[in-house]
Structure 1
């Protein structure tokens, strides 16, 4: 777990199908994971907001992996471990803070609204 995961920037990459749900795929820049080091999946929620459904660590190298291949082994799901406490429970406050930081980045909410996830 990273004590404080500060979002430096985020870009909506488009809409994808994740486990039968249409989600927005957002590339996230952080100091800990670098530029585009995390991919966040946002799905629709009942309150007209967005649910953070998964976070994937993008460890692919553009020098080696010159094409965008999200099924590549370099993509590791870190959704649980990223916000896990010492007692192995999810710190929902930190997870929610991360979500809000991503959604607060310039243009992210607007682009996600244009994807019509609902």
Structure 2
């Protein structure tokens, strides 16, 4: 999977963790648009906390409603191998592609490192 676009939407609390919501566009037909959530890590970088996909049709669900049930957490299945284990190399590659997209890391720093 290749990231074709990314921008930080906002800072939020997700399950008690302060993080930023990043809208990500990919070259995957199954998941062309995702929301990736990043929080701070102990090594002065950012952790990929979760990845969600919106399954709603834009013609039917035309408003931005993050509480909508069409948003499903695909954090585990997105990088799952045929043996049902996480491909950490692919997950890390995705994370680094998002973080290195122009402006993303700087905006995360601005919003999370107060």
Instruction: Say whether the fold is shared (TM-score over 0.5).
Output: yes
Could you say what secondary structure the match of 2:86 adopts? Answer: coil
Instruction: Give the match for residue 28 of structure 1.
Output: 24
Q: In structure 1, what is the Cα distance between the partners aligned to 2:50 and 2:105?
A: 17
Over 3 Å counting, the alpha-carbon distance change for 1:65 and 1:117 in structure 2 is: farther
- Residue-pair matches, total: 112
Q: CA RMSD in A?
A: 1.3
> Shift of residue 58 of structure 1?
1.8
Normalised to the residue count of structure 2, the TM-score between the two structures is 0.91
**1:81 and 2:77 aligned:** yes
Which structure 1 segments of 5+ residues have no match? none
Q: In structure 2, what is the Cα distance between the partners aligned to 1:82 and 1:88?
A: 11
**Residue among 95, 103, 106 paired with 1:107:** 103
Instruction: Give the match for residue 10 of structure 1.
Output: 6
Instruction: Give the match for residue 63 of structure 1.
Output: 59
Which structure 2 segments of 5+ residues have no match? none
Contact preservation (8 Å) 1:23, 1:117: no
Q: Report runs of 4+ in structure 1 exceeding 4 Å deviation.
A: none
